[in-house]
Structure 1
Amino acid sequence: MTDPSRTGSTSARTQSSPQERGVGPAGGGFAVVEMFTSQGCNSCPPAEELLTEIEREARQEGQPVYALGFHVDYWDDLGWPDPFADGAYTTRQGAYARAFGSGGLYTPQMIVNGTVEFVGSDRRRAATAIAAALTEAATTPLALSVEDVAGGDGRRVVVDYEAERPPGRAVLNVAVVERGLENDVPRGENAGRTLRQDNVVRAFASVGLDAPSGRVELAVPPDLDPGHASVVGYVQHHGNKAIVGATAVELAIEPGA
């Protein structure tokens, strides 16, 4: 399980990677694509494949589209406990349900920029929502500096951020997402399948954006592969959940960079 609330100042660092910096599009559009999913749900694999395609195409075309797969835990008692599930992600989905006035939770659910939701395998709705999001200017440009730190107190990702003109009552969400994960599912609705998943949220923090700059630290799993991981940051209204700025940066720096 991840620790969604771990923040603080930097302690002595060992085995630290160089800092990498990500800067969101200056005034341009972006799309944060959050999907709530579970390995215990047999309608989720097609949505997972769609999320992979969305992320891959965005990388190829250089588009500011940021994909995040939040694995919820309410399927875990039905035969297969999802190894990536976290109750904090179920809580996050519940907050969206209250904001949308729906009250119900389901998988797969895709949400674009915090305001548009639909069934996660719906390609047409996804394409329409992402295209619309890319035409809307970011009102809070965001920059991240990221460092992968391994030390005596465990492995952490240290994120320094700068947010221009943050709105009142905003929060900064920071996620570590990993690509290329694969595991066999012996029980539950997906029994007998090997699931390959990308964009899996492995650590997440949400902090009040009381100042335009600051630091967030996240505890990350020891098995995280930094070569297949990114850090996504996005600024979100606390009330209506609208996302007003976002960026991402690779966790590992390419050799010679």
Structure 2
Amino acid sequence: MTDPSRSGSNRARPPESPLQPHDVAPTGGFAVVELFTSQGCSSCPPAEEVLTEIERDARKRGQPVFALGFHVDYWDYLGWPDQFADVAYSARQQAYARAFGSGQLYTPQMVVNGSVEFVGSDRRRAATAIASALTVVATTPLALSVEDAAGGTGGGHRVVVDYRTERPPERAVLNVAIVERGLESEVARGENAGRTLRQDNVVRAFTSVGLDAERGRVELEVSPDLDPQQASVVGYVQHDGDKAIVGAAALDMSTEPG
């Protein structure tokens, strides 16, 4: 299932980048940038720096670029269980591998708009893919609104996301993620043993629902340690088959009433 030999050797450092909160995707292009990563992989920190810079740069420029760091669980066998990892995120990466016809999993892997993949630390490839994505008109506009709700299990709480779309394609899904910036972890074992990792745009909660109506609501349960001042909600519409992403929007949780 894993291919550690393809863990990524390109350690070139990228540009500065971010994520501008938009509650409605513009009629122009957008870029959803998904990074599959792990705290147990020594090649991943450079790619996470790329993702941070992508998000920061887009926020400064006001560009609709949405960054998500999915932590996979298959590096945990090295002795460091990544606290942000989820088997569902590994399964998501497997679905991309099937769609791309590669059948291989590796970290760090970056996927832009569900259609282009490359080693996540490749700053040049990332810039090219994002620039290209921003030229393609969004076919499914998306609007989001968010509210907190009490009653989560284990001391957490629920986040309720209302959405509105136009012209959703057949067999489409709506993905909704809560991402958090400014996280630090001291890694005691694995390939990054002894390092303190600073990570941004970490996916802290994620769900996918069938998009069979233009309006609806989804709920996500988040950990009680989530800092809403450092968190954003990202939604994106995706074909269930070829995985192409056709609409996206995001907004900062700090801009929403609690």
Q: With structure 1 as the length reference, what TM-score do the two structures score? A: 0.89
Rounded to whole Å, the distance in 2 between the matches of 1:31 and 1:108 is 18
Q: What is the match of residue 143 of structure 1?
A: 143
Deviation (angstroms), 1:22: 1.2
Q: What is the match of residue 48 of structure 1?
A: 48
1:22 maps onto 2:23 in alignment: yes
In structure 1, the gaps of 5 or more residues are: 1-19
Question: One-letter code of the match for 2:105?
Answer: L
Q: CA RMSD in A?
A: 1.4
Q: What is the match of residue 239 of structure 2?
A: 237
Q: What is the correspondence of 1:57-136 to structure 2 with a 5 Å cutoff?
A: 57-136=57-136
Rounded to whole Å, the distance in 2 between the matches of 1:222 and 1:56 is 26
Q: Count residues with an aligned counterpart.
A: 235
SS in 2 for 1:81: coil
SS in 2 for 1:252: helix
Contact 2:183 2:199 in 1 (8 A): yes
Question: One-letter code of the match for 1:23?
Answer: V
Normalized per residue, which structure has more helix? 2
SS in 2 for 1:55: helix
Deviation (angstroms), 1:152: 6.5
Deviation (angstroms), 1:29: 0.3
Rounded to whole Å, the distance in 1 between the matches of 2:80 and 2:41 is 9
Q: 1:63-87: per-residue Cα shift (whole Å, max 9, x none)?
A: 0000000000000011211000000
Rounded to whole Å, the distance in 2 between the matches of 1:47 and 1:227 is 24
Contact 2:71 2:203 in 1 (8 A): yes
In structure 2, the gaps of 5 or more residues are: 1-20
Contact 2:30 2:134 in 1 (8 A): yes
CA spacing shift, 1:72–1:155, aligned 2, 3 Å: same
Deviation (angstroms), 1:21: 7.9
Q: With structure 2 as the length reference, what TM-score do the two structures score? A: 0.89
Rounded to whole Å, the distance in 2 between the matches of 1:49 and 1:111 is 16
Rounded to whole Å, the distance in 1 between the matches of 2:204 and 2:39 is 15
Rounded to whole Å, the distance in 1 between the matches of 2:194 and 2:120 is 23
Rounded to whole Å, the distance in 1 between the matches of 2:149 and 2:34 is 26
Q: What is the match of residue 17 of structure 1?
A: none
Using the aligned pairs only, state the percent identity.
79
Regions of 4+ moved over 3 Å: 151-154
Deviation (angstroms), 1:254: 7.5
CA spacing shift, 1:189–1:168, aligned 2, 3 Å: same
